[in-house]
Amino acid sequence: MADNTVKSKDDELAHINEEMYKKNLELNERNKMLALLRKIDHIILGSLTKVDQIADQVTHEIIKSSKIRSIFIYFMDHKNNVLYPLSIAFSEEPPTVSDDVLHIYYNEKISLNEESHPLIESIRSKKIINEKKMSRLFSQLDSDEVDKIQRQINIKEYLIYPFFIRKESAGAIVFGLGEAEFTFEYWKDFIFRLPEVISIAINNAILYQQIEESNDKLRELDKLKDEFVSVASHELRTPITAIKNYLWLAMSKGKISDEETKNYLNIGYSSSERLLNLVEDMLTVSRIEGKRLVLQMESVNLNDLVKSVFDEFSVNATERKIKLKMDLGEKIRFTKGDKEKLREVIQNILGNAIKFTSDQGEVNIIVSEKGSFQTIEVFNTGSFIDPDDKNKLFEKFRRIETKQSDKAPVKGTGLGLYISKQLIELHNGRIDVMSEKNEGTAFIISLPKAEVNEK
C-alpha cells in the first residue's frame, strides 16, 4: 500500500515536471515569436525604402529566427502580366544544386495566365493552398531533380498564401515547412498572420517610392520653373528698361504741352518702374533659390548705410507729412556683409514702413546693439499686423492686408519681405516683427557684429 502511494506521488511529480517543461518550452517559443515580430516591425519602420531590400530583410529574419525552412515572395507585375520572385530565402542551401537551377529559383517568372500553377490558383481564388510537390512550383525544372532537392532540404509541404495591398491582389508568399516542425498553435497562427505583416512592409516601401518619385518630379518641375523665371526675367528686363528710359526722355525733354498726355506718360513711367522692380525681384528670388546668389562680403558701416537710406526717403516722408526720425547712437557699428544687398533690405523695410503709415504719422529707425548682434529697428505708427498673419509675412508671393485707421488696406507684390528675410539669413542674421494694436509695428533686423578694423 505504501509502495503504491509513493509510486502515485512519483507519477504525479513526473507529470508536473513534464507539464512545467512543456510550459517553459512553450514560453520560450512564444518569446522567440514575439522577438521576431519586433524585429520585423523594426525593419518596416526602419530606414530601408526599396521594396526588394525590405522583402529580403524580412524573409531572412524569419528564416533565421523561426523554424520555417524556406520563403518565396512573388510579386505581381501587371504591366508584363507576370509573377516574379521578389525575395527567396532558405534555412540552408541545397548542397548539390547547380548554378543553373539556382538561377531559375531566383529568377523564374510565372505568367498570370498560367491558371494551373499553384501560385496563380491561390491568387485567383484568394485562398490558401497546400502543395506537397516542389516541382509544381518550378515547372521549368526537371521534376525528379526538384523532388530530390526538396528531400535534401527536408521540406514536406508548402503553404501558399495570397497577399493583398490596399485590398488588391499583389502576389503570393510560399512557406516551406518540415515535418511536425510547429508543435504550438500560436506558431501556426504566426504563419497565418505573416502575409499581412509582409504586405504592410511592402506597401510602406511602395508608398515611400511613390512619394520619392513624386518629389523628384516636383524638384524637376521646380528647377524648370526657376530656369524659366530666370530666362524670362533676363529677357524682360532689357525692353522694360528701354520703355522706362524713353518715357522719361519724353516727359523731361519732349515738348508736350497737353496735360492729359503728360499724365498718361507719367502713369506709363510709374507702371514700367513697378514692372522693372518686379522683374528684378524675380531674378533675385531665382538666384537665391538656385543658390546662385554671390555675396560681396566686406566690412559695412551700418551708421553710414542707414543714414544714406534715411536720406533717400526723407522727401517722400515729408510729402506725406510723416515724421521720419533716426537714432544712430554714439557708437559706430559694423557688420560683415554685402553692402548693396543690405541696402536693398533696409530700403524695403523702411519703404514699407512709410507706405503703411498714415499721413502725419511717425516712422523711427534706430541702430543699436543687442548681445553679439547689431540691430536696425524700423518702427511705424498706426499700422497693425494681426498675430495670425505674422508667420505669413515672409512667405513668397504672400500679401498681407495691413490695417490702418484712416485709409484703405495697402497691398504689396509679396516678394520684398521674402527676399529681405532670405538675404538677412544669408548674412547669418534674422528679421523679427512686433505689432501692437493702436500702437504700431516694428521690424528688427539683427546682424552679427564685426570689428571696426575688419576689411
- Give the model's pLDDT for residue 420: 93
Q: Are 256 and 262 in contact (CB under 8 A)?
A: yes
Strand 323-327 to strand 362-370: parallel, antiparallel, or no bridges (unpaired)?
parallel
Phi and psi at 270, nearest 5°, equal: -65, -40
Extended beta strands in 3-77, E state: 70-77
Q: How many helices (H) and strands (E) does the chain have?
A: 10, 13
Residue 119 has what pLDDT?
92
Q: Which residue has the cell 526717403?
A: 313
Q: What is the number of alpha carbons within 13 Å of residue 234 lying toward its C-beta? A: 7
Q: SS3 for 415?
A: coil
Residue 15 confidence (pLDDT): 66
213 burial level (CB within 10 Å; 0-12, 13-18, 19+)? exposed
Q: Which candidate, 120, 127, 209, 203, places its Cα nearest to that of 165?
A: 203
Which residue shows C-alpha cell 514702413? Answer: 353
- What residue type is assigned to position 287 of the chain? R
Give the CA distances from residue 373 to residues 346, 364, 436, in Å, rounded to whole numbers and listed in that order.
16, 19, 24
Q: d(Cα 423, Cα 295) in Å, to the nearest integer?
A: 9
The three-class DSSP label of residue 332 is coil
The class (CATH top level) of 13-211 is alpha beta
Q: Dig out the grid coordinates for 102 from the structure.
A: 539556382
d(CA 445, CA 440): 17
Q: Give the pLDDT score at 367.
A: 95
> For residue 341, what pLDDT is reported?
94
Q: Please report the pLDDT score of residue 3 as a whole number.
A: 60
Matching residue, cell 506537397? 132
Q: How many residues does the chain have?
A: 455
Dig out the grid coordinates for 374 from the structure. Answer: 547689431
**pLDDT at position 452, please?**
63
pLDDT value of residue 21: 66
Amino acid at 406: D
Beta 129-131 vs 110-111: how paired, if at all?
A: unpaired
pLDDT averages per 10-residue partition of the chain, 455 residues: 62 70 68 76 70 83 83 89 88 68 78 91 91 84 79 86 86 82 62 79 80 85 76 79 84 79 85 84 82 90 94 90 92 93 94 88 93 93 80 76 50 78 94 87 93 55
In 31-81, beta strands by DSSP E: 70-77
Give which of 277, 279, 250 is closest to 266, Cα–Cα.
250
Domain ranges in the chain?
13-211, 222-289, 298-448
Distance CA 76, CA 86 (A): 9
Contact present, 40 and 61 (Cβ < 8 Å): yes
- Among candidate residues 277, 448, 441, the one with its CA nearest the CA of residue 349: 441
User: Hey, what's the cell of 226?
Assistant: 526657376
CB 59 within 8 A of CB 73: yes
Query: DSSP class of residue 403?
Result: B
Start-to-end Cα distance in the chain: 111
DSSP assignment letter at 358: P
Residue 68 and residue 63: Cα distance in Å, rounded? 6
- Whose cell is 533676363? That residue is 234
Pick the CATH number of 298-448 from 3.50.50.60, 3.40.50.2300, 3.30.565.10, 1.10.357.10: 3.30.565.10
